[in-house]
Amino acid sequence: MTTFEQLYRPATDVDDALRPLLLRLHEELQRTPTEAASLRAALIAVLEFLASPRGRTDANCRAVDSFLTRDETWNGDRLPQAYVDILADMAGALHDTITAPDIAANFESTPEQLLERARRL
C-alpha cells in the first residue's frame, strides 16, 4: 500500500495547513472497516479549507486533485458509492476551480459544490 509521504508531493506554494487535513483523510480512507462518520468529517475538513479564503487557491486545489488521483485507497467497493462519487469528482475537475471555474462548476467540482454534497452524506 502506498504511504501518505509517497502520495503527497505538493508544489512549493501549497498552504502548509493542507497537509494535516489530507493526512487525516488518507488515514480514514485506509481504515478497515470504514467508519463513515469519521470519513465524512475528514472529507468535510478538507473541503471547508478549500472553500475558505485562505485555502481556495489554484495550488491547494491542484494538490488535493493530484493526491486523490494517485491515492487508490478510495477507488473500490469498500466505501459507499456517495463517498466514491465525491472523491472521484475531487480527483477529476477540482483542479479547474481557479483556472477554468466554468468547467469545475459544470462537473460540480468546485470546493463549495463538493462541500455541500459532503455535508449531505
Sign of CA dihedral 38, 42, 44, 45: positive
Give the pLDDT of residue 54: 97
Amino acid 105 reads A
2, 70 contact by CB (below 8 A): yes
What are the tens digits of pLDDT across the range 18-57? 999 999 999 999 998 999 999 999 999 999 999 999 999 9
**Residue 33: is the preceding peptide bond cis (ω within 30°)?**
yes
What are the tens digits of pLDDT across the range 70-112? 988 887 778 899 999 999 999 999 999 999 989 999 999 999 9
**What is the domain partition of the chain in residue ranges?**
15-119
Question: How crowded is residue 108: how many other Cβ atoms within 10 Å of its Cβ?
Answer: 16
Compute the mean pLDDT over every residue in the chain, rounded to the nearest whole number. Answer: 93
pTM score of the predicted model:
0.94
